[in-house]
Amino acid sequence: MYLSLPLINSAIELGGPSICCHPRLLNLIQDELLRNLMQFGLSMNPLILSMVCSIILNLYHHLRTELKLQLEAFFFLCNFETSTKQISRYGASYQQQEVAMEALVDFCRQKTFMVDMYANFDCDITCSIVFEDLANLLSISAFPVNCPLSSTHILALDGLIAVIQGMAERIGNGSLSSEHSPVNLEGFTAGLDKNLVGDFLGNHDEFCVPVLHEFSGTFDFHDMNLDTALCLFLETFRLPGESQKIQSVLEAFSQRYYAESPHILANKDAALVLSYSIIMHNTDQHNVQVKKKMTEEDFIRNNRRINGGNDLPREFLSELYHSICKNEICTTPQQGVGFPEMTPSCWIDLMHKSKKTAPFIVSDYKAYLNHDMFAIMSGPTMAAIFVVFDHAEDEELYQTCMDGFLAVAKISACHHLEDVLDDLVLSLCKFTTLLNPSSVEEPVLAFGDDVKARMATVTVFTIANRYGDYIRTADESQLSVETGHGKPIANSLSSAQMPPIGTPRRSSGLMGRFSQLLSLDTEEPRSQPTEQQLAAHQRTLQTIQKCHINSIFTESKFLQAESLLQLARALIWAADRPQKGNGTPDDEDTAVFCLELLTAITLNNRDRIVLLWHGVYEHISNIVQSTVMPCVLVDKAVFGLLKICQRLLLADELLRSLQIVLKLDARVADAYSEQITLEVSHLLKANAAHIRSQLGWRTITSLLSNIARHLEAYETGFEALLFIMSNGTHLMPANYVLCVDAARQFAESPVGQAERSVQAIDLMAGCVNCLAQWTTEAKEAMEQEQVSRLYQDIGEMWLRLVQGLRKVCLDQREEVRNHALLSLQRCLTGANGIHLLHGLWSQCFDLVIFTVLDDLLEIEHSHSQKDYRNMGGTLILAMKLFSKVFVQLLQDLSQLTAFCKLWLGVLSRMEKYMKVKVRGKRSENLQELVPELLKNILLVMKTKVILVQRSALGGDSLWELTWLHVNNIAPSLQGEVFPEQDSDHLQHKQGESLAGSFDA
């Protein structure tokens, strides 16, 4: 025996699946070998027991599909529970018990073993319960009852964890779909209520129909007679009573049969009709209540022309008729029981049943059965692992338990078993020692010296990081870890530096105690720490780093919507608590920490920003509006908001929220202006192309305009504006006026250098090119109605541009205002490519040109030379600009109905500039320049036939009013510009004198 068993084991191991190719050898194994192995399996000899188990393991591995009932018998009669009881009954040695447990653990380490046991035996009502018995045996064997841990306890624990980890591996990295899919049902209908099965398969809903076809597809009807195939099919359930359900079932059967064994059948319809006929004949023949039986001729006559319009062979139908007469189609299940004792007759019965039993289901690696299997063993398994963990003193065994806990957590989360996961987390928290009130003076050192507590803590937070969406009762407690009774320091979560050793404040609760470990702050100075204390602190810090507490919040994107919203609300609630009472520095730290976590959650849930934003915005707004001095909290609020907008620029509401920054107290705004500008600049460079609405750009330009007043932020703000406006890169109708106004703010800002103001003016002047470009593009791409609207909008934008430049023309700095005047001229004369309505020119002269001339005169009269240097030069430049623009636009202006009024406005301004006093006396330069410019204008008007005497008898108001004003400026100009008018006038006078002499 000692030689034969190893040889048999080697032969099976080497032969493997190829044994199935040799029927006689396979039959020998199925019958003689296994019958004898069962006898040897009850042996008290550890070596024999070990060899028998090794052979059974190899048989399972290679031939389990051929040994279903034999394996069931082995596990029922010779399984390890029975063996253990017999070993104990006969006073067997501990070594024999250990051999039996080792063998069971070897089976459990096979990835599919427990799934096979559950699918083939526990799920088959005709078979024994194998999986549940083995799982209970492992759980019970792992409990150290009134004794220290032994190798048997540890082996049983290894077996349990192997089973649990196998389930977790089948789940994979994802979670199970909530949608149900039909699976192979063959073998699962045995022992079930056949009426219910038939009724289910006959249903017409969207799930039952594919299940029916999957079910019929599991049958192999190859080369099988129709009556035999139908009998095999109907043995698995009872046909429903409704005709529609019967038809559905038989259609599925006929389709499968015709695909497998068409033989002489023309199509699946022939199979369907003949199946109906067979069932009717079966009922007629074997129902005692039917007195007059169907004859062979009746059966043949009933099945004429059903084979595609032709008759089936008479011999074929006759054979079917007599087969049904001899063999009734029976749907009554044969109920099975266990194997009370394997007597020779029982073994013969087992071999007979093995030929008829449902085939062995080879389980795959999918997790369809995990839920039910886990429900059976989760409670005993968790209890066993916790008991071993409690009694263990070895770090390696601690880790084994932790692996088991993580596998349990993964399965619980996958199947949404929140209660199981809550129980696991709460039970683990008890081992962290953080739930217990401080019973030692040095909790940090005690935690650093407690390996079990540190490992339990890391496991708790690992579960929270991975499966936090399914934790319910522990949510508030875990939040308190971050915000609780100690001083939370977020940087310590990732810091590699060792904090100073001190005496943390006492606090109760998991969160408060863990906060102490995070803070490690010093309240009272201490003596130099010992090497042991330093080592304990180092271990504590390493534990904190392994917890990855920040990940609980940064990975919140995987939380369900309701869980995410509750987490955000909890953080806001925790941060607001100090405001309701007497705040302390620690309270502010808590509020800051909560705000940072809230920001992290928002950043990691960009696709659900609408869900979170209302609460986040309101919280940040409360902080900003209630703060009057710079502090860490408002710093985090402002820059957290800017960071959110920078990364999640998806909606106008986000950008509109930046207006909070404009509401900052002046002292706070001054303190953070430079950093705010940097963030706004980053936001623009990253997202300018995505900001399309006027509302969004209004917020951005308002911030930039506000920045222009701060010296520290001016340069960065101007660079951001340059990024938007340079070459019109990001200019669009939605932001044109806003950007022009922001550029004006930078040009006028007293904190910027004149050079920057000049650049800002150039940005404004360069914008006119965009208007010309948009005009051209509109002509090519739009319909007439849209083009007209756009022309009107472009005209308004142009008017706002020149109005902005007009304001800069009044700047105190000579270089800036003179450059603004030149830029204004360029924008006025460079409008040729822009379609401007005639009415705009009247507005332009009234609101821009005449206004700037009047305002410059007012400045000269009311301000000192110290405030505005060299205003005389500016007045000369303004007059030149004014004259050049008027001359260049004269042809278009002359078409205006209000041209006369406009022309008189020009003359009145020139008349004023002739009389202006610079430094108390009239300017010689202006008195020389104005007549010259006026003469040039008059000559152009004469050339273009705009200023001509249309009637010698009077009534020509333009002509008369012109010379009325011109004579006040330079009386000689009329003769110089219109010498022929003077000659005619002289001849007219001479004629009048001569006529008078004749009359005399």
- Cβ burial, residue 855 (10 Å; 0-12/13-18/19+): middle
Q: Rounded distance, CA 28 to CA 5, Å?
A: 15
Nearest CA to 749 out of 705, 716, 712, 719 is that of 705
The count of other CB atoms within 10 Å of the CB of residue 330 is 12
Q: Which amino acid is at 475?
A: D
| Catalytic status, residue 976 | no
Q: Rounded distance, CA 864 to CA 61, Å?
A: 106
Question: Measuring CA to CA, how many Å separate 595 from each of 188, 256, 616, 840?
Answer: 55, 64, 9, 52
User: Bridge-partner residues for 310, per DSSP?
Assistant: 307
Q: Tokens 């360069």 belong to which residue?
A: 766
Task: Report the first-to-last Cα separation within the chain, whole angstroms.
Answer: 175
Catalytic residue among 32, 169, 242, 395: 242
The count of other CB atoms within 10 Å of the CB of residue 783 is 8
Residue 566 CA from chain centroid, whole number:
17
User: Bridge-partner residues for 331, per DSSP?
Assistant: none
Q: Do 226 and 234 touch, CB atoms closer than 8 A?
A: no
Sort strands 921-922 and 917-918 into parallel, antiparallel or unpaired. Answer: antiparallel
Q: Rounded distance, CA 613 to CA 650, Å?
A: 12
Q: Do 350 and 339 touch, CB atoms closer than 8 A?
A: yes
Nearest CA to 132 out of 95, 176, 163, 154 is that of 163
| Strands of 304-417, DSSP E | none
Find all residues with CB under 8 Å of 283, minimum gap 6, and list them: 290
| Strands of 721-877, DSSP E | none
The count of other CB atoms within 10 Å of the CB of residue 846 is 14
Q: Do 834 and 772 touch, CB atoms closer than 8 A?
A: yes
SS (H, E, C) 172-202: CCCCCCCCCCCCCCCCCCCCCCHHHHHHHHC
Task: Say what angle helices 736-748 and 711-725 make with each other, to 10 degrees.
Answer: 140
Q: Rounded distance, CA 160 to CA 383, Å?
A: 11
Find all residues with CB under 8 Å of 27, minimum gap 6, and list them: none
Name the H helices within 143-267: 151-171, 194-201, 208-216, 226-234, 243-260
Q: Rounded distance, CA 221 to CA 564, Å?
A: 54
Q: Rounded distance, CA 408 to CA 890, Å?
A: 89
The count of other CB atoms within 10 Å of the CB of residue 250 is 23
Q: Tokens 């070459």 belong to which residue?
A: 727
SS (H, E, C) 509-578: CHHHHHHHHHHCCCCCCCCCCCHHHHHHHHHHHHHHHHHCHHHHHHCHHHCCHHHHHHHHHHHHHHHHHH
User: Bridge-partner residues for 918, per DSSP?
Assistant: 921
- What residues are labeled active site? 242
